[in-house]
Structure 1
Amino acid sequence: MLQKINNTMFLGNGPIKILYPGRAISKTDTGIGSIGRIDHPEIHGNTVIAMHPHINDEILSYFRTGKAEHSDSEGFVKTIGRNTLMLMKAGRSFFHEEKIIGEGEPLEGLQIFIRPGKKDLQPEVIFHDLDSMHSENNWRLLASPDAETKFQFSSQTWLYDIKLLINSRIQLPKLPKNNLTCLLYVFKGNVKINEEIELNKKESLIIKNEDVMIGTLDKEAELVLFVTDESAEKFDGGMYSGNQL
């Protein structure tokens, strides 16, 4: 199965666009497996997103330009940006605030809402300083359910990224097990899948049990790959990651 999600599926008229990927294929679930929601913010200038709650969400902040100062109910205060990522595991209750530092480039990236494996887990905040901002022409595993990654989801979820250079082609990474569902998201640039499906910025492709070849067109591309086991246990009642239907 290959199902394209056009950028018209995004909700929101402000600087944060919201994607519920399940809306493209289902009338009963706004998510796909443990992939609950993907936000794509593009925020210019100094902005404060005031202290607000999360319950039973696991949120990975993946900002590629700009900076934000994070503070939360667990007592952490840290600036995050292109080389410093953050995973907030809200569990039963968690509050946080973001102060967008507006000097220079705008804040752009993804806030990724993953469904936890169980309800009401212990809250936790993890920061990860990347060795380099990009992984060129090589899939980089950023998060998984396993100890092999600094970021560990409580559900059967994996997250990869790659910067695919001009005139480059690549297949999906070797997946950890069979019968997984992939969501390929174009953060920047454009790509062509199997020489027939073109994806532009903010568009994505659901991939199930298909071999695909991803190639760049006239520019380099930054891609994020979400992988989920739809049959595995997860809690779909989270405040933001949960099913909205």
Structure 2
Amino acid sequence: MKTILHKSNTRGHANHGWLNTYHSFSFANYYNPERMNFGALRVLNDDTVAPGMGFGKHPHDNMEIISIPLYGDLEHEDSMGNKVVIKEGDIQIMTAGTGIIHSEKNKNLNKEVKFLQIWILPKHKNVKPNYDQITLKPEDRKNKLQQIVSPKQDESGVTINQDAWFYITEIDTGRQLTYHLKGKNTGVYAFVIDGNLDINNIPLATRDGLGITETDKIDIQAVTNAQLLLMEVPLNI
């Protein structure tokens, strides 16, 4: 087993006033040649958007974009005709494919919105753009791994154009979970949304990230109540 540890305080950071953002991997003005990606995982941004503010219309292509709201309401509008609000408990994906234009803004004028924005390099390029959104059941993640992203429509969660699987869990102090990898030549990037836990005996705290390769399973031990995101992605891209 090999690991790479990204402590929360080593992430790239920019505060634009309306947007306070942390980058686990190189993005925008943050560049670190040793932190360009973890396999197909290219971007993991931890964003806080001020009330009533947001990202204006901008393009994407050939990228799988996943948004996971943690607090508040995020309004999305795109060139495919979608105009929706995603909130805590929802998962949104966009297959940008041949190209899309979209905007995102804080729906509310009286509170922030916090969300994770994740970019995955696609399996196939120049496919037809696609949008999907689901609302998760909180009880399905309590002390167990709730699948939220998959490469197949007959699996749980939203479907993306890549052999990747995402899981989220809310695990109580002292509880243990084991995750068995699904793919070939894949690794897992674990991101602690909140709390303290150990993964394969490596201690992690809130907003820490851990890349894990050359193993077929990972063991999770909650030190405190914790919320964890697991992303299994191809390593050869």
Aligned to 2:5: 4
Q: Using a 3 Å threshold, how does the CA distance of structure 1 residues 216 and 150 change in structure 2: closer, same or farther? A: closer
Q: Which one is further off, 47-56 or 175-184?
A: 175-184
Is residue 158 of structure 1 aligned with residue 159 of structure 2?
A: no
Shift of 1:160: 0.8
Q: Using a 3 Å threshold, how does the CA distance of structure 1 residues 65 and 33 change in structure 2: closer, same or farther? A: same
2: CA distance, partners of 1:145 / 1:120: 17
State the identity as a percent.
22
Is residue 168 of structure 1 aligned with residue 169 of structure 2?
A: no
Aligned to 1:186: 192
Aligned to 1:20: 25
Q: Is the partner of 1:60 in helix, strand or coil?
A: strand
For 1:190, the aligned partner's letter is N
Structure number having the greater strand percentage: 2
Q: Is the partner of 1:201 in helix, strand or coil?
A: coil
From 66, 69, 78, give the equivalent of 1:63: 69
Aligned to 1:109: 115
CA contact (8 A) 2:38 2:211 kept: no
CA contact (8 A) 1:66 1:104 kept: no
1: CA distance, partners of 2:54 / 2:199: 39
Shift of 1:134: 6.3
| CA RMSD of superposed structures (Å) | 2.1
Is residue 33 of structure 1 aligned with residue 39 of structure 2?
A: yes
Q: TM-score, normalised by structure 2?
A: 0.86
Shift of 1:83: 2.6
From 132, 142, 156, give the equivalent of 1:136: 142
Q: Which one is further off, 220-229 or 37-46?
A: 37-46
Aligned to 1:43: 49
Aligned to 1:227: 232
Q: Which consecutive unaligned segments of at least 5 residues does structure 1 have?
A: 235-245
Q: Which consecutive unaligned segments of at least 5 residues does structure 2 have?
A: 27-31
2: CA distance, partners of 1:190 / 1:106: 24
Q: Which one is further off, 93-102 or 59-68?
A: 93-102
Q: Using a 3 Å threshold, how does the CA distance of structure 1 residues 178 and 88 change in structure 2: closer, same or farther? A: closer
CA contact (8 A) 1:80 1:86 kept: yes
CA contact (8 A) 2:85 2:107 kept: no
Q: Using a 3 Å threshold, how does the CA distance of structure 1 residues 45 and 29 change in structure 2: closer, same or farther? A: closer
2: CA distance, partners of 1:154 / 1:120: 11
CA deviations on 1:138-167 (whole Å, 9 max, x unpaired) are: 011111111213411212111111111122
CA contact (8 A) 2:199 2:220 kept: yes
Q: Which one is further off, 205-214 or 31-40?
A: 205-214
From 149, 152, 159, give the equivalent of 2:156: 149
Shift of 1:94: 0.7
